[in-house]
Amino acid sequence: MALITPGPMAGQISGRIGSTVFSHNRGGPYCRNGTIPTLVTSEYAINAKARMSAASQAWDNLTDTQRQAWIEWARSNPVVNRLGSQVTVGGNAAYCGINSRLAYGAYPALDDPPIADPPTALVTMTLAMDIGIGASGITYTATPLAANEHLYVWACVLDNPAVRYIENRLRLIVVSAAAQASPYDFSAPLEARFGTLMVGQKVVARVTVLHDLTGLVSAPIQDETIIVST
């Protein structure tokens, strides 16, 4: 389904309407004919679907009181969509989103909605990728993270450094250990996801802080770098 921010005609549009897909690149917004995707059977996709399916089934086992609590929590905690607009999701979506996130890190699931605030975002973040003897990873403040807090790292690897729109390319790469100290090298899971890293490729990392008792994440911080070898 396409998302539209109203303007004189349509200020912003992203997604699909019928057979037409709307997106944008460095040249600006564009539309193209959509295609029917083939069956996705990668290990990552299967695992993600399994986590979401398990959370959806667990929702059915909640009491009516618990489900109503999630509905009310979702109304009070809108999410930001890919156009930057705040939207209110249903209680089921809020429950499944938080618990599938917790399941990724093998943290205990929540039957009741969290009552705490989201963790504080990183203050600064610098990304470096050196496949030689130099340093690789994320350098950030404040460090170390608090107890029960983890780096929640999304990233992509681009063969063409000129590519600017990366929303559809980001993949969840890794969740760090609790109370992780800076710097944090995630090059091994990055290569496991995207293959051998090569000089000249661009890496973009978007990082939030995840609290493993609430399933909540901070606001994101992002950086990018070109892979070098020293």
Angle of CA points 163, 155, 160, to nearest 5°: 25
Is pLDDT above 80 for 32? no
186: Cα separation from own chain's centroid: 15
Residues 71, 36: Cα–Cα separation, whole Å:
33
Residues 225, 54: Cα–Cα separation, whole Å:
37
Note the pLDDT tens digit of each residue in 80-105. Answer: 776 667 788 899 999 999 999 999 99
Structure tokens at 153: 């790292």
Mean of the per-residue pLDDT values for the chain? Answer: 89
Q: pLDDT at position 42, please?
A: 83
Residue linked to tokens 């809108």: 78
Note the pLDDT tens digit of each residue in 169-204. Answer: 999 999 999 999 999 999 999 999 999 999 999 999
Q: pLDDT at position 92, please?
A: 95
- Pairing mode, strands 221-226 and 202-211: antiparallel
Residues 22, 96: Cα–Cα separation, whole Å:
27
Residues 181, 139: Cα–Cα separation, whole Å:
9
* Residue 129 and residue 203 in contact, taking contact as beta carbons nearer than 8 Å: yes
Spell out the domains of the chain, with CATH numbers in brackets: 3-33 (no CATH), 43-104 (no CATH), 124-226 (2.60.40)
Q: pLDDT at position 87, please?
A: 83
Structure tokens at 149: 């807090």
* Residue 103 and residue 48 in contact, taking contact as beta carbons nearer than 8 Å: no
Is pLDDT above 80 for 31? no
Note the pLDDT tens digit of each residue in 138-159. Answer: 999 999 999 999 999 999 999 9
Q: Is the peptide bond before 144 cis (omega within 30 degrees of 0)?
A: yes
Q: Is the peptide bond before 113 cis (omega within 30 degrees of 0)?
A: no
Confidence band of 137 (pLDDT split at 50, 70, 90): very high
- Bridge partners, residue 30, by sequence: 23
